[in-house]
Amino acid sequence: RPGVYEVPFGITVNDFLDLAGAPDAAFVQMGGPSGQCIAPKDFGRQIAYEDLSTGGSVMIFGPGRDVLDVATQFAAFFVEESCGWCTPCRVGTTLLKKSMEKLLDGRATLADIAAMESLAGTVTRMSRCGLGQTAANPILSTMRNFPQAYEERLNPAPFVPAVTLREALAVAVEVQGREPVAKGDRAE
């Protein structure tokens, strides 16, 4: 039952889900995009300052939703909302979004996940304001609470490039109306 609910501090997530008529919730985002994403194993936790604090937003997602797709959408939100003032947020949020897209495409490796986790820490520590400092939360909390979702999407290769030369040149090829010529294929 979508709606606006007023509940006392200390209520468990399970009790809240019962109140909202969502017994089959697959995951819950506490505190909006800048909050944390929790798994069913944590639904016994309390909504309270000492446990799961929230600014009032609780988003409930059913079994038909992909937790990584939602995290990627939140990453895109932070790219759009960044004012661009500080580099960690301006560039970091863009790189985090691109990393999540690479993961969704099945091209991310273990090295990409490690790099994403490191970048998320840098964005969190080095951003100037609260937006940048919390921009990585959806990614970090899904990494922590849904590791199997990440593992299932990994490419087993030791390295997969983020971009191929053909993809990078696609617009130029379209504008010019011709394919690039390989060095050995040139008429001298």
Answer whether residue 22 is part of any domain: yes
53 and 72 share one domain? no
Q: Is residue 166 part of a domain?
A: no
pLDDT digits (tens, 9 = 90+) for 26-67: 999 999 999 999 999 999 999 999 999 888 899 999 999 999
90 and 34: one domain? no
Contacts of 107 (CB under 8 A, 6+ apart): 155, 160, 162
pTM exceeds cut of 0.95:
no
Could you tell me if 53 and 117 lie in one domain? no
Q: What range defines the domain where residue 37 resides?
A: 13-61
Q: According to the model, what pLDDT value does residue 63 have?
A: 97
* Residue 183 forms part of a structural domain: no
